[in-house]
Amino acid sequence: MEAKLIDGKKTAKEIKTELKLRVEKLKPSGVTPGLAAVLVGEDPASQIYVRSKAKACEKIGIYSEVIRRPADITRDELTGIVDELNKREDIDGILVQLPLPDHIDEMTITLLIDPAKDVDGFHPHNVGMMLLGHPAFLSCTPYGIVELLRRYDIDPSGKEVVVLGRSNIVGKPVGAMLLQKAAMANATVTFCHSRTADIESVCRRADIVIAAIGRAEFVKADMVKEGAVIIDVGINRIPDDSKEKGYRLAGDVDFEACSKKASYITPVPGGVGPMTITMLLANTVLSAERRAAKLKK
């Protein structure tokens, strides 16, 4: 068996085309979706990520604003920025890029963001509403995973899903989403982590494996059953002198070996990664549509 590739890059492009049309439909109401990103410090990965978000916004017609501040910003200064963004009618989505400097508590800042503008889906209000099965902004990477399954007609209902990893950003929320009594859910979900005994045998039971453990090529072919669906969330740098940059990117799954047993598999890069920013855009457009609906009343 040779696995079919779940192409996140292609799917993300399709969704962006759909979002652009939705943005166009908002014009008669005088609403342009607005996304503000707050970037504190000079973290290189954060700088790249924020630039990518800004470019993606521009392509589909979302107004994008990046607020840059030095790493020695005080908590009160950052609080003031978030408060101001909460009040602005032209801003539909707010994200404070993580990580923040050590002297600022991330949860304190997250709690300050208006849940109606929390397009990252990190605010406890949105997390709690999602867990209860109510409408909420969904965390972008898990949302992207579920959307990939939907668009490739991979229905998790009645399937056994094993999630490798229990982070608040990916592992926990994606498991919770797939557990819901709803479309593209109704799965039996098992979480595996650093204290899981015999993780290999647990993985071998899975109809769908979601690897978000942060260990390069951790999932080997003997850990998955024939025909399993494999979603690889990991992105790791492996030293490789044959590459110009001196490294190659690899996921949490041994792609070459596992692709010979799986029915579907995501590549790294080009799988889950492109979906994260795309679902952030989707949340922002949804927020703008809600603003437009209020203006009509």
Q: Which residues are known catalytic residues?
A: 53, 97, 120
Length of the chain: 297
DSSP letters spanning the chain = --PEE--HHHHHHHHHHHHHHHHHHHGGGT---EEEEEEES--HHHHHHHHHHHHHHHHHT-EEEEEEE-TT--HHHHHHHHHHHHH-TT--EEEEPSPPPTTS-HHHHHHHS-GGG-TTS-SHHHHHHHHTT---PPPHHHHHHHHHHHHTT---TT-EEEEE---TTTHHHHHHHHHSSSTT---EEEEE-TT-TTHHHHHHT-SEEEE-S--TT-B-GGGS-TT-EEEE---EEEE-TTSTTSEEEE-SB-HHHHTTT-SEE--SSSSSHHHHHHHHHHHHHHHHHHHHHHHH-
